[in-house]
Structure 1
């Protein structure tokens, strides 16, 4: 995928450098922590867990119900809806992590939830939560609060959305949630929807903006580091270190002279690792002597753009 402005002609050819690979790996990752389960309707339960540290090397997750595998998910997913369940039934779920070498963790602690009774002919959604507030709790977490919604039967869950994607589910009696796994120095917009036992969702409540503070030494930042550019005839070679976000970064937005000119995308087989070294080559047709000021930012795991790298000034070669 490429986006360009008319003033620049840029074609892409990418490569990346991986370091620290091991020949054999027999150590399983740790069991996922923070597993929770919340009934979303009479026939579904929302299961969530915490993302592991980068060093765990998790490639996918397995979700079990009563010892039976019910879902498998890639490493970038840490929540799932388990559907097709029975109303008014208690369920227990566990999650296992698997790494790229096929090692599987022990099961997590079980998370339990009970589905509510089914409500026949319930087609009316709940009202939207009327008021939402939010505040950062540090560089990597935030707390949201909202007013309770109403429904003709009963509200069974509240879903928190960020960028149009559900990132958290809270119980029917909850009007607050702590959101973790955020990035420092990043602006977020959250909305909350109410849901009833028939899976009818309310409209979005009012959006609330939360900006996390800089990390202040409490964790890695979101900007690519060590950004450098070298010009040769017809080519510009970019190198940088991917931000250590805990997930592989697949997209970078390149700005030239203050304007976005292209999104650099890496395919599934060529994804630079979190905190890994990256090299990217641009084939250019601008005349020699053209001055470029370049900067780069990464698409974060939550869909936001991270902070910009330091600027690099280069003169194109002939």
Structure 2
């Protein structure tokens, strides 16, 4: 503690020593009686010692309070430090504690949401697993049906992993030249078994070469196409029209209630369709909106109940 004290106040003691030396040289060179210098030196040194004891006591209290603060993180123990600089440090420490508490609260909230989503997705993944188990027990493992359930498992797992990665701000974008048509064709091919299951017809018109992140753009479009399949009617249609700086995906599904459309991009919002069909997590369109914002796209939805939904994506 003494070493730390002299480290903090050492400059003042060095200044005192230099001034004393200058006074001594002055007395010596002018041949003044050194007894006067000696008397004044003893007097000033006595005052310095008393002042040092007081400073050391305050320094000891300050260091003790700071060490106690580090141990229990209690600002009340710093109230005895009344110097202006100490008060300024107290404000800084209080602000840092507040900021850390807010960050911890946000982190805990994010973790809670992730846990909830994992539980929800786990429930959704049980459905195709139970279906596969039943098919195996009844010896009805038809190739097409197995592929449907496996595809559902893959899609659900992909959404979960991408949600976790996106929620943890790990979505590093890599921009390259991509074909919008090629991305959509690949997504259709991947999910063709689901289209056949509902006997859906699909058309793709046009193309658009642009600079974007292929993986995240593909993920966003996959959410829209998944909804076009999920909420479409058997024998329905999905039409994709690609133009320069825009993509329009339209289906003939059950549509969306007018009162649900303003909230369709909110995190966790499922609306009437999600509750009715028990298939929605309320995160697909939310993530789509957030990712497209990062990629500098705007997305809008128009829909009428029992007539279908139209999703328009435009480049800013």
TM-score higher than 0.5? no
Structure number with the bigger relative contact order (C-alpha 8 A, sep ≥ 6) is 1
TM-score normalised by structure 2 residue count: 0.20
Higher strand fraction (1 or 2): 1
